[in-house]
Chains A and B, each alone.
Chain A
């Protein structure tokens, strides 16, 4: 099929974007995902510095519009909380553009829906952020805010992946049912572990077990309460995540060692888990040092996103193949 044809099922039909346009869309989606990482860092710094209520009102900031609040007043905890709000607004605006771009340029109906869903998620995320301030950081709302942040981040990463040349061309496809199940399970386990971590963080249980790697000097706590149980669950979850990631890593390298689309995320995932466990231990040993604690949150998000990419690439063979014409267009 020549480049001027428009067969049914063509991946990018409506405005027939050029390859350059498609590359730009992918780059923009990647930018949104990268900005979301910054947003996650800003959010984690708010919690780590205890600044969540340093701006008591929402959506205004001390009565000013968020965008006209004088920088001279961004002092102490306000710097983190107000900065988080501004970065969130930026990511929200970028997501509007991304959703509109996908709606206009991507012929895949599910991609249009994914863009709209990401926009809905970021709006809901903003509302949860406001509610948690207005209701003095209730654990349930703050944990939901943290949990939805990860889902939104995963959406932006998935959009960046789905708009990539490698995905559209179907590079590195393997048909491995075990790997598909294992990577999907790993992603779900990592997300559950993040939710437990968020619950721990927002219920002030981060130092409920004050030593590491032992727990009150033993392999399991010698006494229990709710906070210790949450903290213990997070440590146990770390073991499950590590085992799950090792299993996926070994499988990828043993069976698909020549498939870079899988070996790269599998290796990155394993490396990130090592870093994440180290940061988790250091968080306790430094008594929740602000930057260590915050980076633990950020690397957790990166572990989730990398696990998602590995899972999606494992499942690529199950996605409908892109039409040959479109592949040619992208390849050009």
Chain B
């Protein structure tokens, strides 16, 4: 009897040791008694941080935005009366400056570390549109998806680096939360119910991103001194990059020019 108990204990220990040795499937776990690891890399000093500002302009004439036919859903017509246009080319009154362009630091940040993203990014489905049409958020940040319309929507994200999802929101006021695990520029959103609805989110592991306003202007604030590759991305015109060297406390103005191909359509 005693021998059997010893055998059972020995077997249990062997199994436990094997599990401990193999466990985790690639996830390394720190010893239970070890303190939480301090983040590697340095933090940005706000006192010496600089800024990159600028404007995104068009080289050429953007095609006119297409009118949206919302007659597939009478509720959409009621929610968004009058002529509704696509938001593909948000061109300012000067005919050159371009809004809805995602501008971000693509490279050059090294191993800086940042505070975890605070606050919640939000995308609303209102008037059978996505608001905002283009936006940015951080890896791991909470995204609140809201349906403010009294009709149903599905929000369908089609990322490449992250997991695809397709969530139905049939009731007005419904909220869904989502986080992205990996950096990705850009993640498209679409509504398969209302084919005209689309939006784009840039997901980054740092806070240096923005979207040009209606006047085509942007500002990337709080950047430490360094040389950066900055990219301006537009949903139809693609992306263009520039290398910018920024000294401490410096503000540098750069302009991006996006060429409109002769064959560009909305």
Residues of A within 8 A of B (CB): 49-57, 62-63, 73, 75-79, 81, 136
> Once the chains bind, are B170 and A63 in contact (CB under 8 Å)?
yes
Besides A56-B168, A76-B191, 19 new A-B residue pairs in contact (Cβ under 8 A), listed by A number: A50-B192, A50-B195, A53-B154, A53-B166, A55-B154, A56-B154, A62-B152, A62-B168, A63-B168, A73-B151, A73-B152, A75-B74, A75-B151, A75-B152, A77-B194, A78-B152, A79-B72, A136-B164, A136-B166
Q: Quick one: which of B164, B167, B193 contacts A75, CB cutoff 8 A?
A: B193
In whole angstroms, how far apart are the Cα atoms of A138 and B195 in the complex? 20
Task: Please give, as numbers and ranges, the residues of chain A lying within 8 Å of B74 by CB-CB distance.
Answer: 75
**A77 lies within 8 A of B168 (CB):** no
Contacts of A51 in B (CB 8 A): 192-193
Q: Which residues of A have CB within 8 Å of B158?
A: 136
**B-chain residues with CB within 8 Å of residue A73 when the two chains form the complex:** 151-152, 170
Q: Is the CB of B193 within 8 A of A54?
A: yes
Cβ contact within 8 Å between B195 and A56: no
Q: In the complex, A81 Cα to B192 Cα: how many Å? A: 10
Q: Using Cβ atoms and an 8 Å threshold, which residues of chain B touch A49?
A: 195
* Chain B residues near A136 (CB-CB < 8 A): 158, 164, 166
Residue ranges of B at the interface with A (Cβ–Cβ < 8 Å): 72-75, 151-152, 154, 156, 158, 164, 166-168, 170, 191-195
Give Cα A52–Cα B158 distance, bound, in whole angstroms. 14
**Closest CB in chain B relative to A82 CB, distance in Å:** 10
Known contacts A62-B152, A78-B152: A53-B170 contact under CB 8 Å: no
Q: Which residues of B contact A63 (CB under 8 A)?
A: 168, 170
Contacts of A79 in B (CB 8 A): 72
Closest residue of A by beta carbon distance from B194: A76
Contacts of B194 in A (CB 8 A): 76-77
C-alpha spacing A24/B152, complex, angstroms: 44
Nearest neighbor of B195 in chain A, beta-carbon distance: A50
Given contacts A53-B156, A56-B156, contact A75 B192 (CB under 8 A): no
CB neighbours (8 Å) of B170 from chain A are 62-63, 73
Give the CA-CA distance A75 to B164 in the complex, in Å.
Answer: 24
B73 touches A53 (CB 8 A): no
- Max count, chain B CB within 10 A of own CB: residue among A51, A52, A54, A79: A54
Q: Do residues A55 and B195 form an inter-chain contact, with CB atoms below 8 A?
A: no
Question: With the chains together, A49 CA to B191 CA distance in Å?
Answer: 12
Instruction: Report the minimal beta-carbon distance from B192 to chain A, rounded to whole angstroms.
Output: 4
In Å, the complex CA distance between A238 and B197 comes to 36
**Neighbour of B192 across the interface among A52, A57, A62, CB < 8 A:** A52
Known contacts being A75-B193, A78-B193, is A56 close to B167, with CB within 8 Å? yes
Is B73 in contact with A76, judged by CB distance below 8 angstroms? yes
Residues in A whose Cβ lies below 8 Å from that of B167: 56
Most central of B73, B151, B168 by chain A CB within 10 Å: B168
In the complex, what distance in Å separates the CA atom of A109 from the CA atom of B191?
49
A79: nearest chain-B partner, CB-CB: B72
The reply to whether B168 and A55 contact each other, CB–CB distance below 8 Å, is yes
Instruction: Determine the chain B residues whose CB is within 8 A of the CB of A77 once the complex forms.
Output: 72, 192-195
User: How far apart sit A81 and B168, CA to CA, in the bound complex (Å)?
Assistant: 14
Measured CB to CB, the closest approach of chain A to B134, in angstroms, equals 21
Q: Are A76 and B195 in contact (CB under 8 A)?
A: yes
Provide the bound-state CA to CA distance between A75 and B191, in Å: 12
With A53-B156, A55-B154, A56-B154 as given contacts, are A76 and B193 in contact (CB-CB < 8 Å)? yes
Chain B residues within an 8 Å CB radius of A75: 72-75, 151-152, 193
Nearest residue, chain B, Cβ from A135: B164
| Contacting pair A54 B72 (CB below 8 A) | no
* Neighbour of A53 across the interface among B72, B151, B152, B192, CB < 8 A: B192
CB distance from A78 to the nearest CB of B (A): 5
With CB as the reference atom, state the residue of chain B lying closest to A81: B192
**Quick one: given A75-B75, A77-B195, are A56 and B166 in contact (CB under 8 Å)?**
yes
Shortest CB–CB separation between residue A69 and chain B, in angstroms? 9
6 smallest beta-carbon distances between A and B, as pairs: A54-B192, A75-B73, A76-B193, A62-B170, A56-B166, A76-B72
Question: Which partner residue on chain A sits nearest B154 by CB separation?
Answer: A56
CA gap between A56 and B191 in the complex, in Å: 10
Could you tell me the distance in whole angstroms from the C-beta of A132 to the nearest C-beta in chain B? 12
Q: How distant is the Cα of A318 from the Cα of B204 in the complex, in angstroms?
A: 68
Give the complex CA separation of A200 and B195 in angstroms: 21
Alpha-carbon separation in the docked complex, A64 to B193 (Å): 16
A57:B168 contact, CB within 8 angstroms = yes
Smallest CB separation, A71 vs chain B (Å) = 13
Pairs across A and B, CB under 8 Å, 8 listed? A55-B168, A56-B167, A63-B170, A75-B74, A75-B151, A76-B73, A76-B194, A77-B195
In the complex, A73→B151 CA distance in Å? 8
Distance to closest chain B CB from A301 (angstroms): 25
The residues of B that contact A54 with a CB separation of less than 8 Å are: 154, 192-193
- Complex CA–CA separation, A315 to B115 (angstroms): 76
**How many angstroms between the C-alpha atoms of A216 and B166 in the bound complex?**
36
Which A residues lie within 8 Å of B151 (CB)?
A: 73, 75
Candidate in B72, B73, B193 with the most chain A CB atoms within 10 angstroms: B193
CA distance A56 to B156 in the complex (A): 9
